[in-house]
Amino acid sequence: MLARYVPLFLAAFVSAGAVALAMLLGNDLVEQAHLAARWTARVGFPIFILTYSASALARLWPSVATKSLLRHRRQWGLGFALSHTVHLAALTSFLLVSGEPPQLATVVGGGGAYLLLYAMALTSSDAAMRALGVWWKRLHRAGIHSLWFIFTFSYFGRLFEPGRMAQGLVLFPICLLALGLRLWVRAKVRRTLVSV
């Protein structure tokens, strides 16, 4: 029973830890807020990847761990929503204390992603699934792929930034691998249906 709350506790713990570390290591309020925004995005990424890959991992490599991940995927998704809410607060704080205006692409793309994220979080229940019917699956599919695209696009861009290239070299392939796992499972299911 407690296992279902692990993703939420983990998300709260690592997000709070990222903010606390930023407060300790930043030299002033602007740097503290900047580090908090950067690090809260990073700690949310593994939670998102686990959520995004849960079904594929359970189908390709069934085990106690992958079946538990799939069974509690809803809680992992809510954990990601929690961690990314902390990121939004940290990013907003940075923009306020630095006086730096947000870029239009960030406001439009990020704003749309947060709308989808919160729509998914608010409909992460059996009652919402029944009420929305086929639209529930459409919303969650569009939302999770949109979030995947934003992470992937961001980390791809870092491949061309000398100071952050290493981050792109590690995290961009992880995004591609997560998509590859999902496509592999889809191909296996189609082959099975054709052969029946």
Give 88's Cβ-side CA count (13 Å radius): 15
What 102-106 contacts at long range (C-beta under 8 Å, 24+ apart), as own/partner pairs, is none
10-57 residue pLDDT tens? 999 999 999 999 999 999 999 999 999 999 999 999 999 999 999 999
124-133 residue pLDDT tens? 999 999 999 9
The answer to whether residues 42 and 17 touch, using CB atoms and an 8 Å cutoff, is: no
- Amino acid at site 126: D
Q: How confident is the model at residue 144 (pLDDT cuts 50, 70, 90)?
A: very high
- Check whether 104 has a pLDDT greater than 70: yes
Mean pLDDT, the chain, whole residue set = 92
Both tokens of residue 75?
């809680």
Pairwise CA distance, residues 133 & 23, whole Å: 45
Pairwise CA distance, residues 76 & 70, whole Å: 9
Q: How confident is the model at residue 4 (pLDDT cuts 50, 70, 90)?
A: confident
Terminal CA-to-CA distance of the chain, rounded, Å? Answer: 38
